Each structure stands twice: as structure tokens, then as C-alpha cells.
């Protein structure tokens, strides 16, 4: 997995996925994209911004990514959208607004995303982190040093594990870290590139080594797009072999 030949195969597989699926424009930031649409008159749904890498542009957008990253834990994105809609309808779109509610009240709003008792507690915990950390982080250099400073402290927040942390750092703050999730493991395994049980940190450093780029900005763009096309590919794989059909052949 870590030798030069495997790194090359990972890079080739990613290049193929990138050209096959095309620009993705992750992470979807619905509120900001809506504002952008009105300004330009473009019609683009669901907040994705393919080919543009300067999102999110606002505190509200960064917080929406944090919220979505927590809500999507082991949960279909369609259910997360329902919960985000409910938060918007209730005007609970800032960390301060979530902390102003009691946990049960917040849980009632995010109910469609499932695990709502846990997730309302997680959201309140990460709201505290966000209010304390976002001002400096938004202005910090998008460097490995910034990443290594903030990542352990984000991981210390209740409800934030490695995938949630890396999604926030990569997509809300454009920091150079690679997101490993169930999709990543499935796609790598399908290409015979990694054992899906490989520990998180090991997979992350391996993917980062395989998909290195000359500059920090290019690295972040590649890693943002890579995770997005891995998700597309994994969903395509699922459509071709739905659960229950001959996954286990012989």
C-alpha cells in the first residue's frame, strides 16, 4: 500500500475517477450557493459548486459544513438535508442559536437525521469549539502546521471522530488532510488497493502520499475533488450491485 508501485496505482485509479465523474464542487453549501445564484442568475441546485474552490466564503457556510458533517454520521445525505431544512425553517443556522436551545429542543429539529439525542449533544459540543476556534482558523494559513495544531483539538470534541474532523478541516477550512470514510474503503478495496480494515490514520497517510501535489493549494483541491468522486463512484457501485444481489458470488 505504501510502496511506489501502489502509490502510482492509487493515483491512476483516482485520475480515472476524476475524468469519469467530472468536477464535483464539494462540500455543498446551500445557503451560500443560493446567495451566489441570485447574484449571477445561474441555476444550480443543492449547493454544489463544481470548478469553484473558494467556497465556503462565510462563517455561516463554514458552520453549515460542520453541522452537515456531524449530521451525516452513518446517515444517508437525504436525511441530513431534511434536518438542515428543518434547522433553516426554525432559524437555527448559527452555533449560538443551537446553544440557546435545550438539547431536547434541538433534537426535535434534527430528528430526520437519526440518532437525534446523540447528535444534538454533539452539535452543541462542536458549537463551543467553533465559536472559540473559527475566527483564528478562518484567517490562518492553509498549512500543515495549522492542520497539525488544530486537528487534535477538534478530535477532542465529543462526537467528532477522524472522518468528521477531516471533513471539516478539508472542506470548511481548506486544510491539507485526506478524508477516509466507508466509501473510500470500499472503492480502494474494489480496486484491490487496500484492505478495508486498515486503521484510519494509516489509510489517510497512504492516500496523502499517493496523491501529493507540488503546491498546498493544488493538494487541497485534489483531495477535495478526490473524496467527492470516491463518493460518486461508491454510489455507482451500489447502484450496479444493490444490497442483497449477488455480492457474494462463487
Partner DNA sequence: AGCCAGGCTACCG
Partner DNA sequence: CGGTAGCATGGC
> Which residues are at the interface with DNA (CB under 7 A)?
26-28, 69, 72-79, 82, 111-119, 157-165, 167, 179, 181-183, 197, 199, 227, 231, 235, 238, 242-244
Tell me how far, at minimum, the Cβ of 50 lies from DNA, in Å: 14
Cβ closest to DNA, residue 39 vs residue 129? 129
DSSP state, 222? H
Cβ closest to DNA, residue 183 vs residue 210? 183
DSSP notation for 151-173: HHHHHTSTT--HHHHHHIIIIIS
Taking only Cα atoms into account, the Rg of the chain, rounded to an integer number of angstroms, comes to 18
CB atoms within 10 A of CB 10: 21
Are 93 and 63 in contact by the 8 Å Cβ rule? The answer is yes
Tell me how far, at minimum, the Cβ of 41 lies from DNA, in Å: 26
Are 225 and 21 in contact by the 8 Å Cβ rule? The answer is no
Give burial (CB, 10 Å; 0-12/13-18/19+) of 82. Answer: middle
Tell me how far, at minimum, the Cβ of 204 lies from DNA, in Å: 12
The angle, 0 to 180 degrees and rounded to 10, between the axes of the packed helices 182-190 and 216-240 is 80
Cβ closest to DNA, residue 164 vs residue 174? 164
Tell me how far, at minimum, the Cβ of 92 lies from DNA, in Å: 17
Tell me how far, at minimum, the Cβ of 214 lies from DNA, in Å: 26
Cβ closest to DNA, residue 82 vs residue 142? 82
Tell me how far, at minimum, the Cβ of 8 lies from DNA, in Å: 26
Give burial (CB, 10 Å; 0-12/13-18/19+) of 245. Answer: exposed
Cβ closest to DNA, residue 9 vs residue 23? 23
Are 223 and 211 in contact by the 8 Å Cβ rule? The answer is yes
Cβ closest to DNA, residue 119 vs residue 219? 119
Amino acid at each position: 500500500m505504501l510502496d511506489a508501485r501502489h502509490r502510482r496505482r492509487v493515483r491512476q485509479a483516482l485520475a480515472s475517477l476524476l475524468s469519469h465523474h467530472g468536477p464535483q464542487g464539494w462540500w455543498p453549501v446551500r445557503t451560500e450557493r443560493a446567495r451566489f445564484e441570485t447574484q449571477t442568475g445561474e441555476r444550480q441546485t443543492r449547493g454544489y459548486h463544481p470548478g469553484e474552490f473558494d467556497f465556503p466564503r462565510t462563517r455561516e457556510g463554514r458552520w453549515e459544513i460542520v453541522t452537515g458533517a456531524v449530521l451525516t454520521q452513518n446517515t444517508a445525505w437525504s436525511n441530513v438535508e431534511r434536518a438542515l431544512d428543518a434547522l433553516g425553517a426554525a432559524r437555527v443556522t448559527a452555533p449560538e442559536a443551537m446553544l440557546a436551545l435545550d438539547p431536547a429542543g434541538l433534537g426535535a429539529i434534527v430528528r430526520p437525521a437519526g440518532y437525534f439525542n446523540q447528535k444534538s449533544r454533539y452539535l452543541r459540543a462542536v458549537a463551543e469549539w467553533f465559536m472559540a476556534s473559527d475566527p483564528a482558523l478562518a484567517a490562518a494559513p492553509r498549512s500543515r502546521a495549522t492542520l497539525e495544531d488544530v486537528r487534535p483539538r477538534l478530535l477532542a470534541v465529543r462526537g467528532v471522530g477522524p472522518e468528521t474532523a477531516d471533513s471539516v478541516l478539508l472542506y470548511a477550512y481548506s486544510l491539507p488532510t485526506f478524508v477516509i470514510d466507508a466509501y473510500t474503503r470500499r472503492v480502494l478495496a474494489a480496486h484491490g488497493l487496500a484492505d478495508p480494515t486498515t486503521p484510519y490514520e494509516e489509510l489517510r497517510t497512504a492516500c496523502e502520499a499517493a496523491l501529493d501535489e507540488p503546491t498546498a493549494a493544488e493538494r487541497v483541491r485534489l483531495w477535495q475533488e478526490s473524496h467527492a468522486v470516491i463518493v460518486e463512484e461508491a454510489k455507482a457501485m451500489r447502484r450496479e450491485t444493490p444490497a442483497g444481489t449477488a455480492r457474494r458470488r462463487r
